[in-house]
């Protein structure tokens, strides 16, 4: 099982908490390797994170990020997010060639159950699997999607990295960023959903329970976000009862733990 995080030094403590939550629920997994795409994480914070790897006898690697603006060929507008978030678009070239499938996790998550079943989900010819975000057709149109297209929250992503490489999807991401002159709605998540159009498998919501699913009642969420299609109320309730990943996305109705 290959798991990837991305973080800068500001989120080093947050990724440490996420990492512990992951490893606490995978003590029986002997072949897990964790990669941290790091943007200038301090030596002291790296030492703390390495201490976590040692405690859980887990293989872990730091991969320094190159200049992402140079890789993209244009200055990227990360808006209010860290530029580090765009690193997941370049996993194909940053990770070793033998890594052909990954679970990508945002660092603002807590793992509450094993991800082994997620890891083993067949992608059925798709390149990625993710949990559908609850957004309107208008939001989808902003990145060139139809209302019937799947749009996922990319904070938890199962990715066929082998097909990503052979299909040249990193270059497709760069081309889209360039086409939008570095300004993309929903930043790198918008890039991923545009480039992977028609190649995304919608997976169970228990693997990415983002803040809106807790901040709103189901009825108000549908009324407010106006999705073309979404999980049923029963599916969301079951996901909460069997949560695997809680994702602390920003919200105007709740504060993030830190």
For the chain, percent of residues with pLDDT exceeding 70: 99
How far apart are alpha carbons 155 and 125 in whole angstroms?
Answer: 21
178: which 2 tokens? 């360039």
Backbone torsions φ then ψ of 102, nearest 5 degrees: -140, 155
Kindly give the residue spans of alpha helices, DSSP state H, lying in 56-147: 68-72, 91-94, 116-119, 137-141
39: which 2 tokens? 């943007």
Backbone torsions φ then ψ of 237, nearest 5 degrees: -65, -45
How far apart are alpha carbons 120 and 129 in whole angstroms?
Answer: 11
The model's pTM is 0.95
pLDDT of the residue at 53: 97
Q: Indicate the pLDDT class of residue 186, thresholds 50, 70 and 90.
A: confident
Helices vs strands, H then E, count in the chain: 12, 10
SS (H, E, C) 105-116: ECCCEEECCCCH
How far apart are alpha carbons 50 and 62 in whole angstroms?
Answer: 9
Q: Model confidence over 24-82: pLDDT tens digits?
A: 999 988 899 999 999 999 999 999 999 999 999 999 999 998 888 887 788 888 777 77
Mean pLDDT across the chain, nearest whole number?
94
DSSP 194-210: HHTTT-EEE--GGG-EE
pLDDT of the residue at 253: 82
pLDDT of the residue at 159: 98
pLDDT of the residue at 122: 97
Identify the CA nearest to 71 among candidates 177, 155, 179, 157. 177
Q: Model confidence over 116-157: pLDDT tens digits?
A: 999 999 999 999 999 999 999 999 999 999 999 999 999 999
């Amino acid at each position: 099982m290959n798991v990837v995080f991305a973080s800068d030094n500001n989120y080093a403590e947050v990724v440490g908490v996420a990492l512990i939550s992951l490893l606490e629920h995978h003590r029986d997994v002997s072949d897990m390797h964790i990669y941290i795409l790091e943007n200038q994480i301090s030596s002291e914070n790296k030492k703390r994170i390495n201490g976590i790897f040692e405690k859980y006898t887990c293989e872990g690697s730091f991969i320094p990020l190159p200049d992402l603006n140079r890789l993209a060929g244009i200055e990227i507008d990360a808006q209010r997010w860290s530029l580090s978030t765009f690193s997941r678009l370049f996993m194909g070239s940053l990770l070793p060639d033998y890594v052909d499938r990954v679970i990508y996790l945002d660092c603002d998550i807590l793992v509450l159950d094993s991800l082994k079943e997620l890891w083993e989900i067949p992608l059925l010819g798709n390149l990625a699997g993710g949990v559908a975000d609850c957004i309107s057709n208008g939001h989808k149109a902003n990145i060139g999607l139809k209302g019937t297209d799947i749009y996922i929250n990319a904070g938890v992503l199962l990715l066929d990295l082998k097909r990503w490489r052979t299909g040249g999807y990193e270059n497709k991401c760069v081309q889209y960023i360039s086409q939008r002159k570095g300004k993309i709605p929903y930043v790198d998540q918008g890039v991923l959903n545009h480039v992977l159009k028609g190649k995304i498998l919608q997976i169970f919501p228990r693997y990415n329970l983002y803040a809106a699913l807790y901040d709103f009642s189901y009825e108000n969420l549908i009324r407010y976000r106006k999705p073309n299609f979404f999980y049923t109320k029963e599916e969301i309730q079951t996901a909460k009862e069997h949560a695997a990943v809680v994702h602390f996305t920003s919200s105007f109705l709740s504060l993030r733990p830190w």
